[in-house]
Structure 1
Amino acid sequence: MRLLFFKNTLLLTLFVAFSCGSTTTNTIPENESTLDDLIEAGVAVKEDAERDIERKKEATLQNEIIVAAALPQKYFPLLQGKRIAVVANQTSRIGTKTIENDMHLVDYLLKEKINVQKVFAPEHGFRGTADAGELVKDGIDTATGLPIISLYGNNKKPTAAQLQGLDMVVFDIQDVGARFYTYISTLHYVMEACAEAGIPVMVLDRPNPNGRYIDGPILEPVYKSFVGMHPVPVVHGMTIAEYAQMINGEKWLNIGIQCDLTVIPMDNYLHEKNYSLPVKPSPNLPNDQSINLYPSLCFFEGTVVSAGRGTDKQFQIFGAPELPSEKFTFQFTPQSNEGAKYPKFKGQLCNGRDLSEAPQLDKINLEWLIEAYVGYGKKKEFFNDFFTNLAGTKKLQQQIEQGLAPADIRATWAEGLTTYDLMRKKYLLYE
């Protein structure tokens, strides 16, 4: 039908051309193409265009990042016949654009007759709906009947009793590349507990949406906490599997022990690639913009300023009631919502900045933090003790209080970042 339409259209076009042109040229010269030749050439062009489209589709498919969980051929042979536990949350899905039947990793493993014994759940819980910092209780997964053991409740490290009877633990959680995002701390404790119990750990790798750069002050060991356990910068520039290799290789586990670690790489991943997460990694990181701004705006969690919890622009805005409205012109009022039952300044009008349309960052932005500090009237009340845990050092608060410019503060990070990058490169799995 398409060929007939094309042929009729071409005939009409030629008729009009020959009728409206010069009266002395109303036939096709013998040395030019016949009508059938032109039709055949047109069909060939169309077929070439279709082949070009298919080649482009194939190239796009080949360049798509395939998460490790979606590559069962790489890890199923290592799970067969073993009793396993899975460390997982709502991000632990096998689907990509190349897999039509997207499902949770735990459901997929059970469907494929892998012997899953239990699930360990990190901060925010197995389904990812608990508030930041909220204790997560043990329970039973209603979909599978599996026991769920919380690693953000009575204990953040699996106990020997919780690991008893297991042959392997599989870790599959989406990270966002910031030191204070607690999933890498959960990874540390899982590896440590398994090393002590003689149980192997497998990490299924996922992209780091902030993996293009490294930045920030290096954590000083004296300020080690669950929001910062290792001597790395705020933005560490590693995937979760690369980070696991670094934990193991640098012997950061208890008393220098090492874990029997297997990492399953992704296909087609490069650190420079942008990657849009298909599932919210936690309730207050709802989109790509919030994830990109998170390493910069999370510092506000250690101050009197709100980072937008209790709004629909979490980690895309900041503000406080006492910031002057004539300078901080964007206004918002936090209310209870998913992931923020009791947000800072609940029900109070805040003056601040809307960064939801800000350009993408490739370094930590200190200007916003310094601007809020300068604009806040009660300087002594601006920072709280949590700020030091987030920064991993006392120096950043002191530098801001002393009035140092962002460039001068950043200059003090340079030596530490250079040393860290040399260590980091030993554990990279991708270019």
Structure 2
Amino acid sequence: MKRRGLLSAALAGAGGVSMGAGGAGPAGAAAPAGQRLLTGMDRLAADGWAALRGERAGIVANPTAVDREYRHLVDRMHADGVSIGGIFGPEHGFRGSAQAGGSEGTGVDARTGLTVYDAYLATVDTWAQMFTAAGVRVIVFDIQDIGARFYTYIYTLYDSMAAAARLGLRYLVLDRPNPIGGRAYGPMMTDGFTSGVGRLKLVQQHGMTVGELARFYNGEFLGGKVDLELVTCRGWDARRFAGERDLPWVLPSPNVPTPDTALVYPGTGMFEGVSALSEGRGTTRPFELIGGPGFDYRWGDRVAALNLPGVEFREAYFTPTFNKFAGELCAGVEVKVVDRTAFDPIRTAVGMLVEARKEAAFRWRLDGSRYWIDLLTGSARLRTTIDAGGSVADVVGAWAGELATFEAQRRKYLLYPRSGA
């Protein structure tokens, strides 16, 4: 029996999926009451790593690749005698010691003695060179994404897949739930606005797991050339959020410490594009605390008066320890999600931006000659609409057509139940 058949046979009884070309596959079933949620890593480990037997593996991972006892994928594989040719660390590094926009560099992992390659900002060519140097024949990806287009791990996935296709390597994704569910929302990335925080034509909140994204990438962007295999989650559907099931949470980056942070991030992450407001980096509630030295309670009062669904706004004062306004007192709001199913992170942040633009202190952040908010949102449309005095409805209504097109485009790649898919 071929290895692809072995993987399918080993996992078929629990809903595992093994496929190439990113084509349509079986949808996951809704979790029966009380069923334990299992990630792709959990299920491959329970199978004794059979899909990797006799292979030299390269592992693309960070600290989120853990089982429910918080044992790391690489540590378990290494202890169990799986042949590992190299580890490839994304932004923040394999062990997670680097801040935003940083990495750990290439070196030797102290715990396992394995070579760790610095893969942050690596091009497809660089990925191919690293895979060749490591002598690997199968790439294993296990990183917890949080569902926003401007979170960089989804480009680590894409570039490493493209390099694997070039070299004819197997690519195995160990899937994990999307912590903010399966709903897609927001504007589409457009030509001329791609950057390191938005390289592919996805909507701002893509609403897919990394396994579903891998299928989408292979089918839509990589011509079906990736020898792609998935080990799906069991017991999860895309209507559930992190914290509602028994899956351990590991902060996927230093400024996303909790599931609450992940929930607001696709929206309040846009405040990185505002020079007059801190997005809460350097506080204990990043992306939930938003404010600046030139603001006061009146901004928060106006935002609260919008009556946005599923959220309340607490008047807040904070002093960041690093990043924007380090050591300065900032006034603004704390975003308090009170109903996760009703809450819309992007619409909420748009309302906050619309009201903030009315303040004299407000300034968009310029990155050279480009506005950072344009790179985050995928075009100049959100910025120019708000500058022209547009309402929340004006801003969010402008992307309805492109969102519907994306919903239809992604549908055949989805693996787990969700509303409206």
TM range (shorter): 0.7 to 0.9
1:349 paired with 2:336, answer: no
Structure 1 residues 109-144: Cα deviation after superposition (integer angstroms, max 9, x where no partner): 112211011110001111223111124311211000
Counterpart AA for 2:376: L
2:86: which partner in 1? 118
The structure 1 residue matched to 2:379, chosen from 389, 393, 398, is 393
Offset at residue 383 of structure 1 (A): 3.7
The structure 1 residue matched to 2:219, chosen from 249, 252, 255, is 249
Offset at residue 428 of structure 1 (A): 0.6
- Take 1:85 and 1:60, find their aligned partners in 2: how far apart are those partners? 36
Q: What are the within-5 Å matches in structure 2 for residues 18-167 of structure 1?
A: 60-62=33-35, 64-72=36-44, 73=46, 76-95=49-68, 101-152=69-120, 158-164=126-132, 165-167=135-137
Greater shift, 231-240 or 353-362, is seen at 353-362
Structure 1 residues 257-291: Cα deviation after superposition (integer angstroms, max 9, x where no partner): 72111111110110001222511111111112111
1:221 paired with 2:221, answer: no
The structure 2 residue matched to 1:271, chosen from 228, 238, 243, is 238
| Secondary structure in structure 1 of the residue aligned to 2:204 | coil
Higher normalized contact order (CA 8 Å, seq sep 6+, divided by chain length): 2
1:322 paired with 2:270, answer: no
1:422 paired with 2:408, answer: yes
- Take 2:180 and 2:117, find their aligned partners in 1: how far apart are those partners? 29
Indicate conservation of the 8 Å contact 1:213/1:363, yes or no: no
How many residues of Structure 1 are paired with residues of Structure 2 in the alignment? 357
Indicate conservation of the 8 Å contact 1:319/1:352, yes or no: yes
Q: Give the structure with the higher percent strand.
A: 2
Structure 1 residues 170-218: Cα deviation after superposition (integer angstroms, max 9, x where no partner): 0000001111111001101100111111111110000001223111101
Q: Kindly tell me: are residues 330 and 275 of structure 1, through their superposed partners in 2, closer, same or farther at Cα, counting changes over 3 Å?
A: closer
The structure 2 residue matched to 1:311, chosen from 283, 307, 326, is 283
Indicate conservation of the 8 Å contact 1:195/1:258, yes or no: yes
Offset at residue 357 of structure 1 (A): 5.4
| Secondary structure in structure 1 of the residue aligned to 2:203 | coil
Indicate conservation of the 8 Å contact 1:317/1:356, yes or no: no
| Secondary structure in structure 2 of the residue aligned to 1:393 | coil
Counterpart AA for 1:132: A
The unaligned stretches of length 5 or more in structure 2 are 1-30, 301-314
Counterpart AA for 1:369: L
Structure 1 residues 4-53: Cα deviation after superposition (integer angstroms, max 9, x where no partner): xxxxxxxxxxxxxxxxxxxxxxxxxxxxxxxxxxxxxxxxxxxxxxxxxx
Offset at residue 68 of structure 1 (A): 0.7
- Take 2:186 and 2:177, find their aligned partners in 1: how far apart are those partners? 20
1:191: which partner in 2? 161
1:239 paired with 2:209, answer: yes
Offset at residue 347 of structure 1 (A): 0.5
1:202 paired with 2:172, answer: yes
Offset at residue 325 of structure 1 (A): 5.1
Q: Kindly tell me: are residues 231 and 198 of structure 1, through their superposed partners in 2, closer, same or farther at Cα, counting changes over 3 Å?
A: same
Let me know the Cα RMSD of the aligned residues: 2.0
Indicate conservation of the 8 Å contact 2:180/2:240, yes or no: no
2:256: which partner in 1? 285
Q: Kindly tell me: are residues 257 and 195 of structure 1, through their superposed partners in 2, closer, same or farther at Cα, counting changes over 3 Å?
A: same
Q: Give the structure with the higher percent helix.
A: 1
Structure 1 residues 349-384: Cα deviation after superposition (integer angstroms, max 9, x where no partner): 111111145543245211112222222x155x3343
Counterpart AA for 1:67: T
Indicate conservation of the 8 Å contact 1:300/1:307, yes or no: yes
Identity, % of aligned pairs?
36
1:8: which partner in 2? none
The structure 1 residue matched to 2:357, chosen from 346, 357, 373, is 373
1:300 paired with 2:271, answer: yes
- Take 2:37 and 2:262, find their aligned partners in 1: how far apart are those partners? 18
Rg bigger for which structure? 1
Structure 1 runs of 4+ off > 6 angstroms? none
Structure-1-length-normalised TM-score: 0.78
Q: Kindly tell me: are residues 168 and 409 of structure 1, through their superposed partners in 2, closer, same or farther at Cα, counting changes over 3 Å?
A: same
- Take 2:214 and 2:125, find their aligned partners in 1: how far apart are those partners? 16
| Secondary structure in structure 2 of the residue aligned to 1:374 | coil
- Take 1:111 and 1:80, find their aligned partners in 2: how far apart are those partners? 14
